[in-house]
Amino acid sequence: MMTTDRRSFLKDLGLLTGAAAFGSIIPLEAFSAGKKEFFKISLAEWSLHKTLFAKKLNNLDFPLKAKKDFGIDIVEYVSVFFENKEKDPAYLKELKTRTKNEGIQNHLIMVDREGNLGDTNDAARLKAVENHYKWVDAAKYLGCKTIRVNAGGKGTAEQVKAAAIDGLGKLTEYGKKQKINVIVENHGGYSSDGAWLADVIKQVNSSYCGTLPDFGNFALGGGKEYDKYKGVEEMMPYAKGVSAKSMNFAPNGDESDIDYYRMFEIIKAAKWSGLVGIEYSGKGPEDEGILKTKALLEKILQRYK
């Protein structure tokens, strides 16, 4: 869910799935009692990262902005914007109170800076697992269903895969006890190889561990790019959410660099339904980019009515 710019910023920092085995992560009441909706729209906090880093908005105020300015009442947080208050009971209570009072659903926390669960060093990997426990706890308290983690590491593809299976497996066991899902998105390196990541999740073999296909994060490193459409297709059997990356828009409102219609044909073919999170990462005004992405998603929804 991270753009090249976001990866550059963090590189030094270290929903219903179609497959029955992976269960529901979204309350059934989130969908209409009749025909099941294809997807509902949520907002990823990273869409406002420039505003947040400029201190023109903070994590506590983000949910209300999502609802008031964009008409979106399901939110996805980013760990860096908690500003080390993820274990502060008063802070978490304030955030929970604000969202509950406004009828906003806390859905997901995207976790960075806590180490790689695919670290091939055993001690470092275990430390990364333990570093994520507090985020599982925070997610549980806030009423979220899921945390998003990183499964990168250094070594051969098979070495990192074995490490990621171990690290994710351990963290998933902790999450399972609190009914919190642990999901991995294509986030650069091996994790942006759709087949590699799908096999990791398959071998973890838990209904609480899945993928978060992102439309734009398929940089393998060394200037190589994985085919985004192939990658999303490979990840969809394990998807517990979808990250709708957007960067640029054509005059007709379509995304200029990503064929959203092709993406959603892939998603629909997987017999998936759930939450699709807006993650605008372009260079234009953030509010405008979010609204354009929402309009595009709504246009796509109409195609499947």
Tens digits of residue pLDDT in 30-74: 443 456 789 999 999 999 999 999 999 999 999 999 999 999 999
Q: Is the pLDDT of residue 25 over 60?
A: no
What is the pLDDT, as a whole number, of residue 129?
Answer: 98
Render pLDDT for 210-226 as a digit per residue (tens, 0 to 9): 999 999 989 998 999 99
What confidence score (pLDDT) does residue 305 get?
86
List the structure tokens of 254. Answer: 């379509």
Mean model confidence pLDDT for the chain = 91
Residue 41 confidence (pLDDT)? 98
Instruction: Write out the residue range of the structural domain in which residue 110 sits.
Output: 4-303
Among the listed residues 114, 69, 76, 115, the one whose alpha carbon sits nearest the alpha carbon of residue 242: 76
State the alpha helices, DSSP H only, in 85-193. 89-101, 122-131, 133-142, 157-177
Report residue 121 as tokens.
């060093």
| pTM for this model (two decimals) | 0.88
Angle, helices 133-142/122-131, rounded to nearest 10 degrees: 20
User: Any alpha helices (H) in the chain, and if so which ranges?
Assistant: 4-10, 49-53, 62-70, 89-101, 122-131, 133-142, 157-177, 194-204, 228-235, 260-269, 286-303
Amino acid in the structure at residue 271:
K
**C-alpha span between 271 and 221 (Å, rounded):** 31
Residue 139 has which token pair?
A: 């997610």
Q: Reply yes or no on whether the pLDDT at 277 is more than 90.
A: yes
According to the model, what pLDDT value does residue 36 have?
78
Strand partners, 92: none
- Cα distances (angstroms) measured from residue 54 to each of 43, 51, 86, 91: 19, 5, 20, 21
Look up the CATH number of the domain holding residue 95. Answer: 3.20.20.150
Overall domain count for the chain? 1
Q: What is the pLDDT of residue 35?
A: 65
3-class DSSP assignment, residue 40: strand
The β-bridge partners of 109 are 77, 147
Give the model confidence (pLDDT) of 8-18 as tens digits: 434 433 433 33
